[in-house]
Amino acid sequence: MKRELRIVAIIAGIFLFAYLVPFSSPTVRSAIMEAFLMLQEYAREHVLLCLIPAFFIAGAIAVFISQASVIKYLGGKAKKAVAYSVGALSGAILAVCSCTILPLFAGIYKRGAGLGPAIAFLYSGPAINILAIILTGRILGIEFGIARAVGAIVFSIVIGLTMQFLFRKEEAEKQEAAMAAPPPEDGKPIWKTAIPIALMVLILVFANWGKPGSLSVETTAGETIVATRAGETADEVLVKLQDSDSITSIERNEIESITYAPSAYTSIYNARFYIAGFFLLTLIGLMILWYSKDEAREWGGSTWSYAKLILPYLFGGVLIAGFLLGRPGHVALIPPEWISGAVGGNGWASNLVASFAGALMYFATLTELPILQGLMGSGMGDGPALALLLAGPALSLPNMLVIRKILGTKKTLTYVLLVVIAATLTGKIFGAIVG
């Protein structure tokens, strides 16, 4: 009966959508186009190099890491200092967006990690991006960079501890059930599991190594522009000029070449695919030597199960986010002026609006900076700006849909509410200090 009611609801929803949406409106047409352009941009920029490695890592965690090991270090009864430190500081290694972190979060949580440490990992993964924090300091000011770094680490721990406390009864039952599970039969040494997973993490890190911050752009007109990278889209590169405080966009068809300032970071970026390829070949060799065909088949099945769990909700969420908010610099159904007009000053309302808007938006890595610059240029206060920086990269509408599938509605709503409240409070305090 429930299944039939669900089918009726889906059919009714599609009918109402087709009947009521004014497709002839230019605004609606633009929003629909933005939805598919955002999905295309997401598929091109994030699926092959970000999501697929993350799915394989999650699958390996589920198959090769014993539940007892996860519970020992990340379980609800593990030492809090160890469990929350691992969760909160992991983002310094994994420079991933709010969607790429999801398979990894699902992997450790389903394998027995406590809700608190898993939530700390979920929040910190996209929030503590070293390059993003450095560029935040260079573009918005050192106080923003420090506040973002400290706020993200503190947030992840506080929100994780709060979630663990609020759902302590459910988590205790989960931990007891996990502890009662029979021990794994495989006597494979732990290092034979740790090394392949470490190699996969390195592949994920180096394949997605962020573009260097300092660059010079040669335009087709022969002009040389020395600047700091502030983000980019499919159509343009966004930079902060050395003699200006604002973000400038350079159309890709106007760019002849881009040169990055020499540094160890730049050298790694230029060789990132060679480094990732070396780790991939090493991984394949070790898997052939150490693991049987049955184990490899089980790993593939687990990876595919995570893909089936996450991708439909992720792609659907990206479409909805694109339809409502559009890509950076493009207008969709909700005009940017509505948001910029509601986040002026440092009042409670403006901080709350900034936190809530940031939680709904989808930010690819570094795209939050040009968006924030544009909003600040339209009158956004310092407090709301930090609130958006703390809520935005860690949450998004696609991210929420997937988290709900993993945790359920109640835990997801609680997590989102805690992030929005914490970002609002921190923004209010920061605005009062720097104002």
Tokens of 144: 């923003």
Backbone phi and psi for residue 263, each to the nearest 5 degrees, phi listed first: -170, 170
Of the two residues 415 and 73, the one the predictor is more confident about is 415
What is the structure's pLDDT at 286? 92
Exposure class string for 93-104: b at 16+ Cβ within 10 A, else e:
ebbbbbbbbbbb
DSSP 153-203: HHHHHHHHHHHHHHTHHHHHHHHHHHHTSPPPS----THHHHHHHHHHHHH
Longest dimension (CA), the chain: 70
Mean of pLDDT values over 294-319: 89
Residues 6+ apart with CB under 8 A from 145: 133, 134, 136, 137, 138
Task: Give the mean pLDDT of 37-45.
Answer: 85
Q: Tell me the sheet residues that pair with 247.
A: 240
The reported pTM is 0.82
Interatomic CA distance for residues 117 and 157, integer angstroms: 8
Give the mean model confidence (pLDDT) for residues 35-54.
86
Distance CA(154)–CA(390), nearest Å, equals 11
Cβ(259)–Cβ(237) below 8 Å:
no
Angle at 155 between CA 149 and CA 161, to 5 degrees: 145
Instruction: Report the run of H or E that residue 251 belongs to, with start and end.
Output: strand 247-251
Choose among 339, 333, 304: nearest CA to 319: 333
Q: pLDDT tens-digit profile of 130-181?
A: 777 877 887 788 888 888 888 888 888 999 999 999 998 887 777 676 665 5
For 214-262, CATH number out of 2.60.40.1220, 2.30.30.100, 3.40.50.300, 3.40.640.10 equals 2.30.30.100
The answer to whether the beta carbons of residues 74 and 68 sit under 8 Å apart is: no
Please write the tens of the pLDDT for every residue from 110-125.
888 889 998 988 888 7
Mark 28-40 as b/e (b = at least 16 C-beta within 10 Å): eebbbebbebbbe
Separation CA 261–CA 121 (nearest Å): 33
Query: What's the confidence (pLDDT) of residue 183?
Result: 55
The CB-based long-range contact list for 131-134 (8 Å cut-off, 24+ gap) reads 131/95, 131/210, 131/213, 131/365, 131/366, 132/95, 132/210, 132/365, 132/366, 132/368, 132/369, 132/393, 134/213
Dihedral over Cα of 41, 44, 46, 47: its sign: positive
pLDDT at 301 over 80: yes
pLDDT band (50, 70, 90) for residue 213: confident
- Please choose, from the candidates 371, 366, 359, the residue with its C-alpha nearest in 3D space to the C-alpha of residue 423: 359
Read off the tokens for 54: 């993350």
Average pLDDT of the chain, as a whole number: 84
Task: Give 324-356 pLDDT, tens digit per residue.
Answer: 878 766 788 888 777 777 887 888 989 999 899
Amino acid at residue number 157: I
The dihedrals phi and psi of 79, each to the nearest 5 degrees, come to -60, 125
